[in-house]
Structure 1
Amino acid sequence: MSSFTEESAVTVLGLGPMGRSLAAAFLAAGLPTTVWNRTPGRDRELVERGAVSAATAEEAVAASGLTVVCVVNYDAADAVLRRDEVTAALKGRTVVNLTADTPDRARSTAAWAAEHGVRYLDGAIMTPTTTIGTPDGVFIHSGPRELLDEHRTVLEALGGVHTHLGEDIGRAAAYDVALLDIFWTAMAGYAHALSVARAEGITARELAPFAQGIAAILPPI
């Protein structure tokens, strides 16, 4: 039997691949979960598993004390959260925004939240959808520490490690951008290396053992 109560109810706004994974993890943990997406139809499987499908974003955020947002960027998040009726429904409630964007956008949204009585925590997900609900997930958060502590039990239903990076609301986004810079630069470099090798008749399979050797010396450096 689940140890969660009605106070543990959570709403997920945004049902792309990551949003659906977040909602599925909450459901698997036994949390009362309400879902909403701008494009209808993405919640069918979640509803079959016990989620409540909200007709509007206002209805969705009013259903829970905690709303987790995961959409494509802050333009999309703001388009939902800053609608008058949604903003009014969020007053006194908590938003954890796991949407990826820049530190300045995080600070802008936090300022809006403070102005309208919305409790706000920013964050980012540093691992793919397959890690959600498993010990391999990595979540980073920034903003009021007490807000993360208050909702930690619910957020830990997502699995993995949840790290508070500081009170500066833009800090999680800064980590996210910096870490993704490492990832995409490395991927672009490897793709270019394969192209150089291919031009000389060297296959990716032939190059791979030596590429792994190069990668192995990077951590100590």
Structure 2
Amino acid sequence: MGEALDGIDLNGKDVVNLTTSTPVQARQRARWAEGRGARFLDGGIMAVPPMTGRPETGGYIFHSGDAVRFERHREVLEAPAGAESAGADPGRAALHDIALLSAMTGMFAGITHAFALMRPEKDYDRARFATLLAERLGVMSGAAHELAAQLESGDCTEGVTSGLAMMSAANDTLLATARDQSADPRLLTPCMELMRHRAARGHGDEGLAGTAGPLGGE
């Protein structure tokens, strides 16, 4: 984006950035645009190319920054995909984008590992297993609301039925099965190590919300 607009007169212009960035980069870019007399909106695209221009697919774009510009240009912003406001902070769209992509990355890692476990089986019906997997993940997605409630209240033990101590112990079985099935466990082990660390620090009765602390925190 910087290269494309280098040397361009932006005074009085409305600039919308849809390139993927970190929240810090988005805030820096907002200051850069404002310093050149422009008004700035940053965007985070929650859609893949086949979803572009097809409202029925459910794709949308987070926008954050100048709220007046967002409303004024909403019709144009909705041309590629639905437009959702993420607030006045220019970095908030990128933060939403990266947070959701991070969750998807973890989900895809779990899906990939599940298929790796099944791979050696001679009567392995991939299509049937994919259906079972999608159904199970759909059911478990409700955990997002439970974690949100625990983080909001500050009590990571609230309503927990499977604590970190129990899950950490059960992880040994998951790892043993991976070895038996010749599946690389490295898609799972970072999360398992974080769970074990938190439980060892005396928080074994917490749920996964307890691992959502700062880097290097307790």
In structure 2, runs of 5+ residues without a counterpart are 144-218
SS in 2 for 1:96: strand
1:28-70 deviations in whole A, cap 9, x for unaligned? xxxxxxxxxxxxxxxxxxxxxxxxxxxxxxxxxxxxxxxxxxx
SS in 2 for 1:216: helix
What pairs with 1:169-184 in structure 2 (closer than 5 Å)?
169-184=90-105
Aligned equivalent of 2:66: 144
Q: CA RMSD in A?
A: 1.6
Q: Which moved more, 1:210-219 or 1:162-171?
A: 210-219
What pairs with 1:158-169 in structure 2 (closer than 5 Å)?
158=80, 160-169=81-90
1:54-97 deviations in whole A, cap 9, x for unaligned? xxxxxxxxxxxxxxxxxxxxxxx22222x2x22xx222111100
Residues 91 and 116 in structure 1, CA contact (< 8 A), matched pair in contact too:
yes
What pairs with 1:88-99 in structure 2 (closer than 5 Å)?
89-99=9-19
In structure 1, runs of 5+ residues without a counterpart are 1-76
Residues 39 and 66 in structure 2, CA contact (< 8 A), matched pair in contact too:
no
Aligned equivalent of 1:79: 3
What pairs with 1:10-25 in structure 2 (closer than 5 Å)?
none
Structure with bigger gyration radius: 2
Aligned equivalent of 1:195: 116
The amino acid that maps onto 1:169 is: P
Tell me which protein shows more helix as a share of its residues.
2
Q: Give the direction of change, closer, same or farther, for the CA distance of 1:213–1:131 in structure 2 (3 Å limit).
A: closer
Q: Distance in 2 between matches of 1:132 and 1:182?
A: 22
Q: Distance in 1 between matches of 2:103 and 2:96?
A: 11
Q: Distance in 1 between matches of 2:84 and 2:136?
A: 30
**Which of the residues 53, 57, 60 maps onto 1:133?**
53
Q: Distance in 2 between matches of 1:112 and 1:189?
A: 40
SS in 2 for 1:194: helix
Q: Give the direction of change, closer, same or farther, for the CA distance of 1:206–1:163 in structure 2 (3 Å limit).
A: closer
Tell me which protein shows more strand as a share of its residues.
1
User: After TM superposition, where is structure 1 displaced by more than 4 Å over at least 4 residues in a row?
Assistant: none
1:105-150 deviations in whole A, cap 9, x for unaligned? 0011111111111111001110112222222331110001001112
Q: Distance in 2 between matches of 1:216 and 1:93?
A: 44
Equivalent residues, number: 140
Q: Give the direction of change, closer, same or farther, for the CA distance of 1:208–1:137 in structure 2 (3 Å limit).
A: closer
Q: Distance in 1 between matches of 2:130 and 2:51?
A: 26
Aligned equivalent of 2:33: 113
The amino acid that maps onto 1:100 is: T
TM norm structure 2: 0.60
Residue 209 of structure 1 deviates from its aligned partner by: 2.9
Aligned equivalent of 2:200: none
Percent of residue pairs identical: 36
